[in-house]
Amino acid sequence: MAKHTFPRELRLLTPDQFKRVFSDPVRAASPHLTLLACANELGHPRLGLTVPKKALKRAVWRNRVKRLVRENFRQTQHDLPAIDIVVIAKAGIGSVSNADLTHLLDKLWRTLSRRCNG
């Protein structure tokens, strides 16, 4: 049975790791989120999050989005290829319900998987 955890190894932690993704990304976007990805040699996906104050003013609102993205990634990590992903929140994400955000993320994960594998 696959473990559905989110340990340190599944996170992008350093600025260099983020820069590598930003340098030559594969994109999947919606009006509320942009996902950037690039292949890695680790054999598993990793996640990085950026939720700017410009998109959501209050820390509580930013934390809600980050929590939902992390949880959705944790549940779908075994369906993703070995890629590094940076999720960037855009203005207006605060008005999206939790269910709609989950559905949007599922769609964007599939798009990234298809673009990175094919």
Cα 82 from Cα 78, distance rounded (Å): 10
Q: Kindly state the helix (H) or strand (E) to which residue 26 belongs, with its residue range.
A: strand 26-29
For residues 88-117, give the mean pLDDT: 92
3-7, 81-85, 91-95, range with the lowest pLDDT: 3-7
Read off the pLDDT of residues 79-88 as tens digits, 9 standing for 90 and up: 899 999 999 9
Give 11: exposed, middle or buried? Use CB within 10 Å, 0-12, 13-18, 19+.
Answer: middle
Report the Cα–Cα distance between both ends of the chain, in Å, rounded. 27
pLDDT of residue 109: 93
Indicate the pTM of the whole model.
0.91
